[in-house]
Amino acid sequence: MKLNSANINVMVKACRKASKTVIRDFGEIENLQVSLKGPGDFVTNCDKKVEKILIDELLKARPSYSILSEEIGEINNDDSFKWIIDPIDGTSNFLHGVPHFAISVGLEHNKEIICGIIYDPIKDEMFTAEKGNGSYMNNQRMRVSSRSKLEDCMIFTGGPKRDAKNRELALKEYYKFSIKVLTPIRKLGSASLDMAYVAAGRCDGFLQRNLNYWDVAAGIILVKEAGGFVTDFNGENEYIQNKTILATNAKINEEMIEVLK
């Protein structure tokens, strides 16, 4: 089985088209124009080109939908439907020639994510999900892992930026988890792929502070439709407002919340 609804098909087509630019530019990184958005935040001309392709394709198919995207901000149309776009999640990896980054697109209806795609163009892995219809990777059904003991789990995180206001708290949380699990905590540099990997059962949990909506929108529906949980650090659904997100399989969510307390 695969997802082939009209919205999913629109998203797949847009991501496939945008990925051609990503793959080409990744092979010519030394020629990219790069500017600094803020401490540790880079934007490339590739980000902007990919964003334009995605927006053009999505608006062509759904001209009435609104858009929230990392680089341009908001396009306000019909606010009941909104595309949430991160053109390249993992820009630092991209710039350093590390082949681990993704195009991320979510679709929100009445403030709830109903579809999501996270596409890794280098590995050609397309993670898709739709409310009520499950999560898939390249048309194969995904399920979260079944590990039930935190110490046996693999945990992903992103860690704090140099100037983060709660940097010390985030490092303390990292330490608390590092002494709970047998496998060292992984920091791979792409929050959207971290969440896709939770959905695929490749890792068991992901936590991070200070992410933006476009970093996690598609991942939220992927994890939920794969049978996992997405909460804030308190176990509530205020992850966007509180800027803390915890994505887990169905068995370690409460234990991870206890560690965070």
Residue 204, pLDDT > 80, answer yes
Kind of pairing between the strands at 112-120 and 125-130: antiparallel
Kind of pairing between the strands at 229-231 and 205-209: unpaired
Residue extent(s) of CATH 3.30.540.10 domains in the chain: 6-141
pLDDT for the residue numbered 5? 92
Q: Which CATH architecture has domain 150-260?
A: 3-Layer(aba) Sandwich (3.40)
- Grouping H, G, I as helix, E, B as strand and the rest as coil, residue 178 is helix
Residue extent(s) of CATH 3.40.190.80 domains in the chain: 150-260
Average pLDDT value for the chain:
92
pLDDT for the residue numbered 40? 54
Distance between CA 86 and CA 102 in Å, rounded? 8
pTM attached to this predicted model: 0.94
Residue 1, pLDDT > 60, answer no
pLDDT tens per residue, range 48-99:
999 999 999 999 999 999 999 988 889 999 889 999 999 999 988 998 889 9
pLDDT tens per residue, range 18-32:
999 999 988 887 776
- Is the distance from CB of 68 to CB of 85 less than 8 angstroms? yes
Residue 202, pLDDT > 80, answer yes
CATH number at 6-141: 3.30.540.10
Which has the closest alpha carbon to 115: 136, 140, 141, 145?
136
